[in-house]
Amino acid sequence: MFRDFPELKPPKGKFRIMGIDKFEIPGEGHWVVGDFDNCDEAIKKAREMTRNASKDATIPSEATVFYVYDENGTYLGGDMSDKD
């Protein structure tokens, strides 16, 4: 992700929650929610946000999702299908 959008890369040693709107054109429907010092806290928060978005969505499988990435652009969690 960061190769295409380097401005989204979190600071070194931080974990970034990204909001991703599944209805938007790829590359346009994403935003920075925030940066966390602790990976587990970021993942917990992202999962909570994804669950809440799913509850409010007309089509839960198309709800906005919140994912956590590290400074290398590696997906770390946030999806509801991830283990808690």
Sketch the domain layout of the chain as residue ranges: 14-68
Looking at per-residue pLDDT, the higher value among 33 and 29 belongs to 33
Question: pTM for the full model?
Answer: 0.81
b/e code 40-70 from CB counts within 10 Å (16+ = b): eebbbbbbebbeebbeeeeeeeebbbbbbbb
Residue-wise pLDDT for 7-24, tens only, equals 778 999 999 999 988 776
What pLDDT does residue 25 have? 63
Helix (H) or strand (E) holding 69: strand 65-69
Reported as a single tens digit per residue, the pLDDT across 34-77 is: 999 999 999 999 999 999 998 887 776 677 899 999 998 889 99
CA dist., res. 15 & res. 69, Å (int): 6
pLDDT at 63: 77
Q: What is the pLDDT of residue 23?
A: 72
